[in-house]
Amino acid sequence: MKKTKKAKTADVMPSIQNNRRREWRLDLPLPAVIEGQLQKGSKFKANTTIKNICAGGAYFSLDSGLVVGSKLNLVITLPKKLTEGKDVKLNVGGITVRLEQPDAKGQRQGVAIRFDKDFRFVEVGRKKKPS
């Protein structure tokens, strides 16, 4: 009699077994400006595209010399489809939690950031009310 191969749990439910995330992640390219300080102390400001984002953090590529634990500030341009046609940016800070190896050219590296709890939406071009 031939034995039948039992399916492993990971084969049956790979998305549950392999996904350790607490939040849903959106693979949504969003333009952003990243500001921070390099390990040697010099400040930088760079344009990039967020590759994916969730409530807890984001992933993007950057030409930099960051280290894990670097504090960054992101200004992310939100799609006008989500903001009723208004030019709105999300300003959020965070800390780098993972760095990928630089690409083949040795420059751009993947950066994962965990967001701080504080964030704010900024409507561009909106004037402050006089006090």
Q: Is 3 exposed, middle or buried (0-12, 13-18, 19+ CB in 10 A)?
A: exposed
State the pLDDT at residue 128.
56
Q: What is the mean pLDDT of residues 125-131?
A: 59
Give tens-digit pLDDT for 38-96. Answer: 888 889 999 999 999 988 999 999 987 788 999 999 999 999 888 899 999 999 999 99
Q: How many CB atoms lie within 10 A of CB 115?
A: 19
| pLDDT classification of 19: cutoffs 50, 70, 90 | very low
The domain locations on the chain are 21-123
pLDDT of residue 7: 45
> If 0-12 CB within 10 Å is exposed, 13-18 middle and 19+ buried, where does residue 95 land?
middle
**Which CATH homologous superfamily contains domain 21-123?**
predicted glycosyltransferase like domains (2.40.10.220)
Q: How confident is the model at residue 23 (pLDDT cuts 50, 70, 90)?
A: low
* The most confident of 4-8, 22-26, 53-57, 88-92, by mean pLDDT: 88-92
Is residue 14 very low, low, confident or very high in pLDDT (cuts 50, 70, 90)? very low
**pTM (2 decimals)?**
0.72
Antiparallel, parallel or unpaired: β 43-53 and 57-63: antiparallel
